[in-house]
């Protein structure tokens, strides 16, 4: 390992072509985690709770559509 | 790197959700139908001449496309969060590669967001649960999931803190102990909810809950075992290039 390598957790490519990182830098993960994490939680909210305790879009169509999945995935339904 | 990991996480999640859909259709839907029959028998029959309330979504759609979309979307969303969790955990929890990291994170995720909430606030079929208390029950459920997730994160940090001194095995035991203590305290302190009517058949309740837990088990198993090899390919971008390079090298040190 070269001492001059940047203090990144991703090592530079080795001679053999193996460039497998040992860790993924949190700096790189954070923006994806914030954006996609919020989007994914919104998806789980629509399956798990829309028109139950809270309602974002109004009406009970989504609740009725995902009804069986909500029960069987274990969310409180009604 | 992260973009591809997320895509593969959501892909593995979609497959996991559809496997869950298959399992839930076969094992869970008979119980949902039976519970709805009990619910409708208990409801007052419509007065003669009064129009029957139209169903917003038919039973056929609910148990077919509706269930598939619900489990599929749940799988995709959970798969995305799972990919983020694996990216953070990789190289930080003492596992040796992405496949074992993915399996461990899935096992922890399954216990944290499916088993722990299930033990305190188990899944209920239609006809069980008072609609007037849905706010409180949803709140308690979310609180327990959040507590379990925070407990898992604290436990992982505790394990990492002692791993250098006590070794990986004992660090994992310490983390498990921290998680167990925190979660047991929360589960004992949170209020009990029991809204099962006395007349509801216990056998039907048992089979419904078992199929619900089975669905979650399958979703997490497929997610954890499916994501690992896919993510491994993201982290090892050129396994095909490496093999001929090794084969071409006559050096004995190559092995």
CB proximity list for B162: less than 8 A, separation 6 or greater: B170, B171, B174
For chain B, give the number of residues.
Answer: 255
Minimal-distance CA residue of chain B relative to A67: B62
Over residues A11-29, mean pLDDT: 70
Q: Does A38 touch chain B (CB under 8 A)?
A: no
The helix/strand/coil state of A54 is strand
Q: Which two tokens stand for residue B192?
A: 């009990």
Query: Nearest C-alpha of chain B: how many angstroms from A1?
Result: 18
Q: Do A77 and B129 touch (CB under 8 A)?
A: yes
d(CA A33, CA A13): 26
pTM of the entire predicted model: 0.86
Q: How many CB atoms lie within 10 A of CB B168?
A: 14
| Contact (Cβ atoms closer than 8 angstroms) between residue B224 and residue B103 | yes
More confident residue, A21 or A42: A42
Minimal-distance CA residue of chain B relative to A59: B56
Q: Does A78 touch chain B (CB under 8 A)?
A: yes
Q: Do B80 and A66 touch (CB under 8 A)?
A: no
Q: Do B213 and A74 touch (CB under 8 A)?
A: yes
Q: Please report the number of interchain residue pairs, chain A to chain B, with beta-carbon separation below 8 angstroms.
A: 170
Q: Do A69 and B74 touch (CB under 8 A)?
A: yes
Q: What is the pLDDT of residue B46?
A: 66
Facing residue for A19 by CB, picked from B88, B134, B237: B237
Q: What is the pLDDT of residue B47?
A: 67
Q: Do A76 and B238 touch (CB under 8 A)?
A: no
* pLDDT, tens digit only, all 255 positions of chain B: 899 999 999 999 999 999 999 999 999 999 999 999 998 888 777 666 666 667 788 999 999 999 999 999 999 999 999 999 999 999 999 888 999 999 999 999 999 999 999 999 999 999 998 888 999 999 999 999 999 999 999 999 999 999 999 999 999 999 999 999 999 999 999 999 999 999 999 999 999 999 999 999 999 999 999 999 999 999 887 655 545 444 444 444 444
Q: How many CB atoms lie within 10 A of CB B240?
A: 9
Domain residue ranges of chain B, discontinuous segments joined by +: 1-42+63-127+201-236, 129-195
Q: Does A15 touch chain B (CB under 8 A)?
A: no
Q: What is the pLDDT of residue B205?
A: 96
Q: Examine the pLDDT at A43 and tell me if it is beyond 90.
A: yes
d(CA B133, CA B43): 19
Q: Which two tokens stand for residue A74?
A: 């274990």
Q: Do B70 and A73 touch (CB under 8 A)?
A: yes
Facing residue for A32 by CB, picked from B61, B84, B124: B84
CB proximity list for B32: less than 8 A, separation 6 or greater: A68, A71, A72, B63, B125, B126, B208
Q: Which two tokens stand for residue B151?
A: 């407990």
Q: Does A44 touch chain B (CB under 8 A)?
A: yes
Q: What is the pLDDT of residue B206?
A: 97
d(CA B119, CA B213): 10
Query: Nearest C-alpha of chain B: how many angstroms from A46?
Result: 9
More confident residue, A5 or B44: B44
Over residues A57-71, mean pLDDT: 90
Residues of A in contact with B66 (CB under 8 A): 64-69
Q: Do B138 and A19 touch (CB under 8 A)?
A: no
């Amino acid at each position: 390992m070269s001492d001059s390598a940047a203090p990144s957790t991703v090592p530079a490519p080795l001679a053999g072509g193996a460039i497998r990182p040992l860790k993924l830098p949190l700096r790189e993960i954070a923006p994806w985690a914030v954006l996609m994490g919020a989007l994914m939680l919104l998806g789980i909210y629509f399956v798990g709770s829309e028109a139950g305790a809270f309602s974002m879009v109004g009406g009970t169509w989504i609740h009725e559509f995902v009804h069986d999945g909500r029960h069987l995935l274990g969310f409180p339904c009604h | 790197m992260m973009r591809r990991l997320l895509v593969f996480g959501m892909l593995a999640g979609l497959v996991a959700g559809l496997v869950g859909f298959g399992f839930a259709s076969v094992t869970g839907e008979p119980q949902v139908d039976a519970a709805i029959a009990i619910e409708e028998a208990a409801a007052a029959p419509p007065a003669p001449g009064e129009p029957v309330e139209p169903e917003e979504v038919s039973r056929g759609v609910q148990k077919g496309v509706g269930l598939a979309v619900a489990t599929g979307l749940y799988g995709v969303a959970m798969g995305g969060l799972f990919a983020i969790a694996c990216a953070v955990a990789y190289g930080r929890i003492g596992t040796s590669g992405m496949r074992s990291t993915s399996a461990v994170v899935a096992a922890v995720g399954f216990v944290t967001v499916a088993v722990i909430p299930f033990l305190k606030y188990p899944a209920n079929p239609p006809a069980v649960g008072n609609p007037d208390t849905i706010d409180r029950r949803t709140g308690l459920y979310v609180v327990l999931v959040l507590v379990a997730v925070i407990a898992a994160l604290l436990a992982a940090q505790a394990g990492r803190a002692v791993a250098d001194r006590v070794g990986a095995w004992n660090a994992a035991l310490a983390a498990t102990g921290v998680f167990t203590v925190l979660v047991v305290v929360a589960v004992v302190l949170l209020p009990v909810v029991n809204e099962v009517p006395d007349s509801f058949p216990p056998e039907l309740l048992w089979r419904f809950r078992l199929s619900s837990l089975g669905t979650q088990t399958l979703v997490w198993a497929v997610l954890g075992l499916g994501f690992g090899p896919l993510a491994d390919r993201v982290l090892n971008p050129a396994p095909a290039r490496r093999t001929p390079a090794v084969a071409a090298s006559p050096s004995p040190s190559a092995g």
